[in-house]
Amino acid sequence: MIMSGERIREYIESGNTVLGLELGSTRIKAVLIDRGHNPIAEGGVQWENRLENGIWTYSYEEIQKGVQDCYAALKKDVQEKYGITLKTVGAVGISGMMHGYLPLDEKNKPLAEFRTWRNTITGEAAEKLTELFGFNIPQRWSIAHLYQAVLNEEAHLPQLKKITTVAGYISYLLTGEHNMGIGEASGVFPINSTTKDYDQRMVNLFDGLIAGKYDWKLEDVLPKVLCAGEKAGTLTESGAKFLDPDGDLEAGIPIVPCEGDAGTGMAATNSVRVRTGNVSAGTSDFAMVVVDHDLNVHREIDMVTTPSGSPVAMIHCNNCTSDINAWVNLFKEFGELMGYETDLNELYTKLFTAALSGNRAGGGMLSYNYFSGEGVTDLDEGRPLFVRKPDSDFSLSNFMRVHLMSAMATLKLGMDILKEENVTIDRIYGHGGFFKTPEAGQRILSAAIDAPVSLMSTAGEGGPYGMALLGAYMLWKEKDESLEDYLDSKVFANASTTTLEAGKDEVEGFNLFAEEYRNALPVEKEAVKKF
């Protein structure tokens, strides 16, 4: 139900709202929702990670300033729309890029640069832990980074008191509490979905690996695990001053357990129930499918959890739209060279739409969109690569279709494994920038996975909206009401949804493209070695 402006002002002034803020790969965004779960204000800032000394990172100054600038933009939006100063909210939830490594000392000062999910520098540790645990440990997981630091004998480890993620770090600054939501925690260390905590057998095995090296054990440094609906703490005076340096924001606000972008994407697309799934596609792309049976160990598939702790098969690809963005910017530069004023959003729409008329199998062209390494295809580094046969049909529509298929190709390799594992998916939703142009991204994904793909009208709000919904669940759920039931009945009961299914020719075309893509992977690997 849409509220009147006066009613929204009453909600804002009384704190009957929830703020969700997410630190994404290229954008930090905040969304404020009202009691009807409607977005009523937002704010955002752009940022970008950097490759420094072989490590993808953001500085701690950038992290803190980015969060503050994002909140300031939201606060300004509230002032401009409703003529009031934002002083309180019902709850605050922080989300971020899952995984990565952020070590803290006893004074909670960072001991090393923040190492993002994008890094592929932990291959030795990930391989050894996967063998030890009998459980797939991806390179980007926090435990892989920690053990790689052990193998490298990094100097900061004797001072280590906590490890966390970027969302966990901001949550700590707000509350002084070292915890995180179970979905976020499942990208730090494997979770036992029965106990809703870290897998104790694997914790013991890890402690055996480092016995005698340091004066800490793994449980000493890991964040406490919380499930959706629990409270992560309250906004302290220093936390309020950090988030709003102007001093208007009041302390004492409940804080939601921080969650990763995978968990918030599940919430934003109502994909937390068993046999549902979603695909998030932006700078990176990943599929999340809530499974109803155990899977074999696959290096291409990560086992994480929903914000409630149910097991989820996750196919995470480091690279999605960055190469497309680079080509679109090149086309924009050409247009400006020719004297045309080019609106970037319009250019994206026209180019994505052109892809719909392209050759279903790519017309004899291939693209590898690897700006960074890719675990699914066993690459520690990436080289964006475009290759075509001499007799290829080198048209703009084919060129764009190839790049859109390339963005989904690595994801398809993992989704095909789920089919082999007899995983049933009742519905799958798409969200993220890849789906912004009507039909194009939705149809390409459908062709890749050979299944209908749905988009919700709210999915464009993305992770911060999903984080706000987790806060709403914490505040407004009924006794013993599950997150699945809350989202079904309270949030998405009347949601507007658009569903598309690729034609048989598109599915067959993508399969041919994927076969060529898989066969030519040695070309990409040679490019990494030689260039």
Residue range 137-185, pLDDT digits in tens: 999 899 999 999 999 999 999 999 999 999 999 999 999 999 999 999 9
CATH superfamily of 5-260: ATPase, nucleotide binding domain (3.30.420.40)
Pair 446, 453: CB distance under 8 Å: yes
100-144 pLDDT, tens per residue?
A: 999 999 999 999 999 998 888 999 999 999 999 999 999 989 999
Radius of gyration of the CA atoms of the chain, in A: 23
Angle between helices 322-337 and 396-420 (to 10 degrees): 170
> What is the per-residue pLDDT for 18?
98
Predicted pLDDT at 529: 95
Whole-model pTM: value is 0.84
Q: With 80 as the cut, is the pLDDT of residue 264 above it?
A: yes
In terms of Cα–Cα distance, which of 101, 156, 110, 148 is closest to 129? 148
Identify the band that residue 350 occupies on the pLDDT scale cut at 50, 70 and 90: very high
Domains 5-260 and 269-318+423-500 fall in the same CATH topology: yes
Name the CA dihedral angle for 81, 46, 437, 35, rounded to a multiple of 10 degrees. Answer: -40
Statement: residue 221 has pLDDT above 70: yes
Secondary structure letter of residue 152 according to DSSP: T
> How many CB atoms neighbour CB 338 within 10 A?
8
Q: Residue 309 in 3-state DSSP?
A: coil
Q: How confident is the model at residue 461 (pLDDT cuts 50, 70, 90)?
A: low
**What pLDDT sits at residue 433?**
85
Least confident of 140-154, 251-265, 423-437, 466-480: 423-437
Query: What pLDDT shows up at residue 60?
Result: 94
pLDDT at 460 over 60: no
203 or 493: whose pLDDT is higher?
Answer: 203
Cα separation, 493 vs 415, whole angstroms: 28
Q: What pLDDT, on a 0 to 100 scale, did the predictor assign at position 98?
A: 85
Distance CA 149, CA 131 (A): 18
CA distance 291 to 288: 9
**In whole numbers, what is the pLDDT of the chain averaged over residues?**
94
| pLDDT given for residue 142 in this prediction | 97
Mean pLDDT of 244-250: 97
| Helix residue ranges per DSSP H, 290-439 | 322-337, 344-355, 396-420
DSSP state of 86: -
| CATH number given to 269-318+423-500 | 3.30.420.40
Domain ranges of the chain: 5-260, 269-318+423-500, 322-413+504-530
* pLDDT over 90, % of the chain: 84
Kindly state the tokens that stand for 96. Answer: 């971020």
Residue type at 420 in one-letter notation: E
* Mean pLDDT in residue range 405-431: 93
Angle, in degrees to the nearest 10, between helices 261-268 and 462-476: 80
Gap between the Cα atoms of 259 and 497, Å rounded: 25
Q: What percent of the chain has pLDDT over 70?
A: 98
- DSSP assignment of 440-464 equals HHHHHHHHHHTS-EEEETTGGGHHH
In 3D space, the residue among 362, 354, 400 whose CA is nearest the CA of residue 512 turns out to be 362
pLDDT exceeds 60 at position 319: yes
Contact 275, 290 (CB under 8 A): yes
How much is the average pLDDT of 429-454? 92
Write the burial class of residue 134 (CB in 10 Å: 0-12 exposed, 13-18 middle, 19+ buried).
exposed
**The pLDDT of residue 196 is above 90:** yes
Side-chain-side CA neighbours of residue 283 (13 Å): 15
- Residue 329 vs residues 348, 353, 373, 388: alpha-carbon distances, Å: 10, 17, 23, 21
pLDDT at 297 over 90: yes
416, containing H or E segment? helix 396-420
Encoded tokens for 118: 């994008």
The pLDDT tens digits for 353-390 are: 999 999 999 999 999 999 988 988 989 899 999 999 99
- In tens, the pLDDT along 68-103 reads 999 999 999 999 999 999 999 999 999 998 889 999
pLDDT of residue 3: 58
